Amino acid sequence: MRTRSVTGLIGVLAATALSVTANSVVAIAVPWLVLERTGSAALAGLAGAAAIAPIVFSAVFGGALIDRIGKRRTCLIADTLSAAAVAALPLADATVGLTTGLVLVLVAVGAVFDSPGAAAREALRPDVARAAQVPLARVNAWGEVAENTGYLAGPALAGLLLVVVGGFGTVWVAAALFGLSLLVTWFLVPAHLSVRPSPEPYLRSVWDGIRLLLRDSTLRAVTLTAAVIWLFLLPFESVVLNAYLNESGQVVAFGVILAAYAGGAIGGALAYGAIAHRVPTRVALIVALALAGLSLGAFAVLPPVPVMVALALAAGVVTGPINPLCALIVQSRTPARFRGRVIGSYTALALAAGPLGLLAFGPLVDTYGPAAGFAAIGGGLLLAALLAAGAPGLRRLAGSA
């Protein structure tokens, strides 16, 4: 009879929340530092982009690294190197002097390690779910809650710290959060939970992950669906909503709307985790995408801010289950020894569509206005729902989780 152990599950969830919070703090603090030093909004934006650009590359090659050295070890290395890259910012400023170019390099280096760490924690979920005897769908939902908690807490913490301790003090707190994530993984996630990695040629391992993802019809379908989601969802906050609120002089409402969206996502993920065993996975994904398209598309009427807050809350509730559902499909279709490289490849291919959306929606909003942008986002998510409904690979899924 197996003994139930929840320490690994607690460790993975806590490390996820700490790491995401740290990254969210960095995402606020570093552009603020650059803007404070240079007075250039363009350079501040470039610093923010430097944290995103390496993700696609590192997700592919980092995923294979997970299967080569182990999931837990990858988490430990990623948190160590992320903490070091962040701590290097104030250390460089105190010694050699911190130029904008050096900021961009250090931020990009830190971002390279973030993606393998996140993929390794996701790859650990089936292991800790099995040890804790908790359904994997529920663990994925809790993982989404942990991530959204970090996305919600990070900006609020960064805003407070920038006022109290300044930019470099805020950066030191982010480094400490990465350190806490490392300690939580070290002490709470047992090393024996995961399949022992077997040595394989590295580049062949990378290719095997991509090939398995593209050859399996279910994995191929969920990756395409996720790419469409990222293509249309990523511009919602940073491009379309931002442009509308600036244009209408309601910038103060930006944080409130985003907080409602993140809070709704936490509630939606928790609700899905509670009922996942009763709901067919494919049906849940289609319904969530369709409702997300309708709720975000409703922003196109440009309602008053209180209505936007309500819509954002509703949109968060229905988008909350989407990532856990996609993660469940990928995990359930992937053999354990391939899990790291497949999750890495899936993440890279899905996220690669995001920058395309950011590039496309800027001219769209400039030419036709924010209403057209909101309508396009709603239509794009409805398209993703149709793809999920029509994909033969997803029709082969088993019923509920």
The DSSP string of 226-243 is HHHHHHHHTHIIIIIIHH
Residue type, 193: L
CB-based contact 244:367 (threshold 8 Å) = no
Contacts with 261 (C-beta within 8 Å, 6 or more apart), sequence order: 237, 312, 313, 315, 316
pTM: 0.81
Residue type, 194: S
Same domain, 169 and 134: yes
pLDDT at 297: 97
Same domain, 95 and 158: yes
Same domain, 258 and 389: yes
Structure tokens at 16: 């996820």
CB-based contact 218:397 (threshold 8 Å) = yes
User: Confidence class of residue 195 from pLDDT cuts 50, 70 and 90?
Assistant: low
**Which has more confidence, 292 or 343?**
292
Residue type, 298: A
| Distance from the Cα of residue 202 to its chain's centroid | 26
In the chain the first and final C-alpha atoms are separated, in Å, by 23
- Give the domain extent around 3: 1-189
CA distance 321 to 340: 22
- Region of poorest pLDDT, from 16-25, 50-59, 228-237, 283-292: 50-59
Helix-helix angle 136-164:322-333, to 10 degrees: 130
Structure tokens at 319: 């988008």
Q: Is 382 inside any structural domain?
A: yes
Same domain, 135 and 236: no
CB-based contact 219:396 (threshold 8 Å) = no
Kindly report, residue by residue over 112-138, the tens digit of the pLDDT: 788 889 889 999 999 999 999 999 999
Mean pLDDT of 103-113: 79
Residue type, 286: I
Identify the three-state secondary structure at position 185: helix
Same domain, 31 and 77: yes
Same domain, 386 and 329: yes
Alpha-carbon distances, residue 180 vs 22, 247, 275, 306 (angstroms): 10, 41, 32, 38
Same domain, 288 and 342: yes
CB-based contact 265:205 (threshold 8 Å) = no
Type and span of the H or E element at 89: helix 71-94
User: End of a domain among 136, 168, 189?
Assistant: 189
User: End of a domain among 126, 161, 189?
Assistant: 189
pLDDT at 1: 39
Kindly report, residue by residue over 204-243, the tens digit of the pLDDT: 777 888 888 889 999 999 999 999 999 999 888 767 887 8
Same domain, 180 and 206: no
Nearest to 2 by CA among 274, 195, 193, 196: 193
Q: Which CATH number does the domain housing residue 252 bear? A: 1.20.1250.20
Same domain, 175 and 229: no
Same domain, 113 and 157: yes
User: End of a domain among 160, 189, 218?
Assistant: 189
Tally of structural domains, the chain: 2
Same domain, 158 and 280: no
Handedness of CA 359, 364, 369, 374 (dihedral sign): negative
pLDDT at 300 over 90: yes
Mean pLDDT of 356-369: 84
Mean pLDDT of 171-189: 96
CA distance 79 to 168: 19
Same domain, 209 and 176: no
